[in-house]
Amino acid sequence: MQPKLKRLLGWVFLGGLLTGFLAGLAGFGAGYLSASSPEAADRVAAFEIVGFGVFGLIAVGVSLWVSVYWMRTIDEAAREAHKAAWFWGGSGALLLGLPLMLIATLPQTADWRLPDWFYGRSDPVAHAALGAGGLLVLMLVGYTVAWAWWWFRRR
């Protein structure tokens, strides 16, 4: 591994540890506040929403930065493998998810509810989050299969 990349990954790991520590500290503080003062629950909920939003923006930014750096450092064959895998695997998986999405819009499915294991929620936001997560999983599985197939064919 290149020394520059090794140093970058070390900083990313350290940043992840620090972020995890701060998130744990914030969670402890929010739990303490909500347990000690029932009227502080609204402030704690707002704090959690802002905290998750900031954490998400930082995580996406760092992930994008590391991905671009990594993509520039790998060789041309690996770059082509990942581009082909994302196009064919990710797009193909989305095409597999399209009929499921269309079925979910039928009037017969209007009474469907999420099972109790989904945090006891059955609101539209929970359904949308579950659908987006399901499509992401499908895309990652398709990407992995297409990536392995690309390398297998070119061995």
Would you say 130 and 118 are in contact if contact means Cβ atoms under 8 Å apart? Answer: yes
Per-residue model confidence as pLDDT tens digits over 101-150: 788 777 776 676 656 556 677 677 777 787 888 888 999 999 999 999 99
Domain boundaries, the chain: 1-73, 76-155
Residue type present at position 54:
V
Record the tokens describing residue 40, joined without a space: 């502080």
Nearest to 144 by CA among 96, 94, 89, 95: 89
Would you say 151 and 114 are in contact if contact means Cβ atoms under 8 Å apart? Answer: no
Per-residue model confidence as pLDDT tens digits over 56-111: 888 888 888 888 888 888 888 889 998 999 999 988 888 888 887 788 777 776 67
Which pLDDT value is given to residue 145?
93
